[in-house]
Chain A
């Protein structure tokens, strides 16, 4: 693929987004962001950069499409099953000691991982006293996540992931299958609260015992990663847990000294 948009033009678009819509992408990792924007530019067959820029600036519906397409929404249920197994065996027994459990899935995309966590909470007999807050910068994916409807095509793989994660029931008990989609049960959905939230600009909105933010921070430059970690720190109860994606780490930041890694997965516990 050619890369028709130059670094200079990229900066023009980023400035427009900030000035017109208040969305700040300037601290996103540039190579990845540029690739996503170039992909959209090619996909929508703009004849020139000027027309692309004009469309983003002047058409709010197109701006929404821009957010949808430029942010990465690849996800799956029980992504990295061994991570979910660690959550179940090493984190949930501690959460069980709380009278009420608040969990934040930051950057939840279309919600597959939120439903995964809810299923394991249900099996640990904790779902009834848990509330899962699920947020994303992208309002379209949040709406989709709230419906609990997913394509049936991936269910076989998700069922296998569920088994590897240590699920101890029959995965199909959690959904009703239609022709090409499945609907996850009301019992799971009623413990979830969906909302848009921008990790770059929005502040802390509650205190949590567990925050999951997986495969989001890789799209940020290091300084922004540090600012988001500060936001999580502020939003996390003492002795709460922070869970990251398999290639993300807290270890490059000074605050790591107040956290202790749990087992081999990317889970840290706030100890101070």
Chain B
């Protein structure tokens, strides 16, 4: 795949309760040479974050790291939003952290990352919403839609918590509704 085709692409994945095993499945099924940067926003407790990075790293040939303030987003890297900060994407494809109020009772909030990534990547953004028990992500997907990005929801029938993907579907915001294995296949075909 020509490198310049990838320069303006990015994948954002939002998940909450019950989404970790889906994320592990997707990461472990990405093909060799997969290079689009991936940003993961996962609701979780503030502690024990280094172990989560380790768990994800062990699942994939890609490098997984916690996103750092002002870091340039680069290919072949999976970034994890740090606990207790919102993760924002700047126009110049760098990260900013933000310790402001929780959004949807969550920090990091999926909406915040999706909205700013939509502004930064426009139609080059692929946003995926996975299992979860609240509706964080729905407003974010609205922004992704508006900027002509691609939106995917995990098939709620396959999600241990269906509320989050179902909310996106009910708002008519999803281009594709897929089980985990087809999400991985979809990403491998981009």
A and B associate: yes
B111 interfacial by beta-carbon distance below 8 Å: yes
Is A225 in contact with B88, judged by CB distance below 8 angstroms? no
Closest residue of chain A to B90, judged by CB? A31
The segment from B97-105, B122-130, B171-179 found at the interface with A is B97-105
Question: Which residues of the other chain, B, contact A7 by a CB distance below 8 angstroms?
Answer: 91
- Once the chains bind, are B68 and A247 in contact (CB under 8 Å)? yes
Known contacts: A31-B89, A247-B82. The answer to whether A219 contacts B98 by CB under 8 A is yes
B89 touches A247 (CB 8 A): no
Knowing A1-B111, A29-B88, A31-B88 are in contact, say whether A252-B70 is a contact too (CB < 8 A): yes
Using known A-B contacts A215-B99, A222-B70, determine if residue A32 contacts B115 with beta carbons closer than 8 Å: no
The smallest C-beta distance from B53 to any residue of chain A, in angstroms, reads 14
B96, A3: Cβ atoms closer than 8 Å:
no
A5-B85 Cα distance, complex, nearest whole Å: 24
Whether B115 contacts A1 by the Cβ 8 Å rule is yes
- From 202 to 218 in chain A, residues with beta carbon under 8 angstroms from any chain B beta carbon are 215, 217-218
Assess the A218–B90 pair: CB atoms within 8 A: no
Q: Which residues of B contact A249 (CB under 8 A)?
A: 68-69
Task: Flag if A247 contacts B70 (CB, 8 Å).
Answer: no
A215 to B86, alpha carbons, bound, how many Å?
12
Chain B residue with the shortest CB-CB distance to A29: B96
Q: Residue A248 at the B interface, CB < 8 A?
A: yes
In the complex, which residues of chain B have a beta carbon less than 8 angstroms from the beta carbon of A221?
70
Question: Can you name the residue of chain B whose Cβ is closest to the Cβ of A7?
Answer: B91
- Set of chain B residues within 8 Å of A247, measured between Cβ atoms: 68-69, 82, 85, 97
Q: Is the CB of B69 within 8 A of A248?
A: yes
Interface string of A214-243 (1 = CB under 8 A from B): 010111011001000000000000000000
Number of A-B contacts (CB under 8 A): 61
Q: Which residues of chain A have C-beta atoms less than 8 A from B143's C-beta?
A: 2-3
Q: Is the interface of A mostly helix, strand, loop or mixed?
A: loop
Q: Which residues of the partner chain A approach B139 to less than 8 Å between Cβ atoms?
A: 1
With A218-B69, A225-B70 as known contacts, state yes or no: A245 contacts B99, CB within 8 Å: yes
Which of the listed residues A215, A218, A248, A249 has the most CB atoms from chain B within 10 Å of its own CB? A218
Tell me whether B119 is interfacial, beta carbon within 8 Å.
Answer: yes
Contact of B112 with A by CB under 8 A: yes
Q: A213 to nearest B CB, angstroms?
A: 13
Name B91's contact: one of A30, A245, A252 (CB within 8 Å). A30
The residues of A that contact B120 with a CB separation of less than 8 Å are: 31
A35 touches B99 (CB 8 A): no
The answer to whether A30 and B90 touch across the interface, beta carbons within 8 angstroms, is yes
Q: Which residues of A contact B100 (CB under 8 A)?
A: 32, 36, 72, 74
CA distance A74 to B85 in the complex (A): 11
> Quick check: A31 and B99 within 8 Å, CB to CB?
no
Task: List A contacts of B112 (CB < 8 A).
Answer: 35
- Per-residue 0/1 for B107-148: is the Cβ within 8 Å of any A Cβ (1 yes, 0 no)? 000011001100110000000000000000001001100000
Give the 7 A-B CB pairs with smallest separation, nearest first. Answer: A31-B88, A29-B96, A72-B100, A31-B116, A218-B97, A32-B98, A215-B99
Residues on A lying within 8 angstroms of B by beta carbon are 1-3, 7, 29-32, 35-36, 72, 74, 215, 217-219, 221-222, 225, 245, 247-249, 252
9 more CB-based (< 8 A) A-B contacts, given A32-B88, A222-B70: A1-B115, A3-B115, A29-B88, A31-B90, A32-B96, A35-B112, A247-B85, A247-B97, A248-B69
A-B contact pairs, 10 of them (CB 8 A): A1-B115, A31-B88, A32-B96, A35-B88, A72-B98, A74-B101, A215-B99, A218-B99, A247-B69, A249-B69
